[in-house]
Amino acid sequence: MDILYITGAGVSSESGIPTFRGEDGYWTIGSVNYTPQEMATRKMYRENPAQFLSWYYHRFATYRNHGPNDVHYWLADKNLITQNIDGLDGKAGNRNYIAVHGRLDQMTLFHHQGDEVDVISTPWDEIQASEDQLSLENDLKALFRIKNNPQKNVSYKPFVLLFDEYYTDLYRISESQQRMEKADKIVFMGTSFSVNITQMALQVAANRNIPIEIVDPNPVDVGYDLATYYPMRASEYILSC
């Protein structure tokens, strides 16, 4: 049986990486609080690149040296699409997984969506953690080659799919769809079904009348007759397999 696994933030939370929509995802600029959905946008990157990069640094990059957990290792030989940008599945040994939302340890030139661009490593280790916010912002702008506003073919951008962007083949979306169409079963682990890739996979499963499993401590009821729910953490689920 060809089983496709689709994972979300709940899987990496057991490695100490906070979930994307947790309370620590919010960011204050001046006296205004911004949600992750407002921070992680091309609009914010164009208008306030220093704050955008500071948020990503505090929110994700400081966790870049965290290691995989038992679930990542269990998934190392599985057919896998992850929404996570932490790269932990690669560290665990999965050589063919799809990071459909990108990876924070990589970056691209700031480009128009759909353009073909190279993906290169982000040298986060060049950033010295500093309590001085202005120094941190200046270091981040230098790392991403930002002088004023991000510009095509001048600045870099984290290789991360932002909320006001859409899936392209830079993020291997066609291959992701092909895997969905070939799967005999889809297992969703640690996801809230709040992003397009999970809705896309759910629709494919319904169209093809294949079973799905939903593994989460608080699983979302997707209203699908062939869904089996496992109200538990992914680490508990793999022990039962």
CA 25 vs. chain centroid, Å, equals 14
In Å, how far are 28, 36, 141, 144 from 88, measured between CA atoms? 28, 21, 26, 23
3-state secondary structure of 105: strand
Size of the chain, expressed as the number of residues it contains: 241
Catalytic-residue membership of 66:
no
Candidate list 66, 101, 111, 112, residue with the active-site label? 101
Burial class (CB in 10 A: 0-12, 13-18, 19+), 143: middle
CA–CA distance, 225 with 211 (Å, rounded to integer)? 9
Amino acid identity of residue 151, one-letter, is Q
Q: Which of 164, 168, 146 is nearest to 156 (CA)?
A: 146
What does the alpha-carbon distance between residue 114 and residue 127 come to, in Å, rounded to a whole number? 30
DSSP letter string, 96-115? S-EETTEEEEEEEE---TT-
Nearest residue to 76 (alpha-carbon basis) of 59, 90, 58: 90
What one-letter code names the amino acid at 208?
Answer: R
Of the CA atoms within 13 Å of residue 195, those in its CB half-sphere come to 24
Rounded CA-CA distance 150/93 in Å is 34
Active site residues: 101
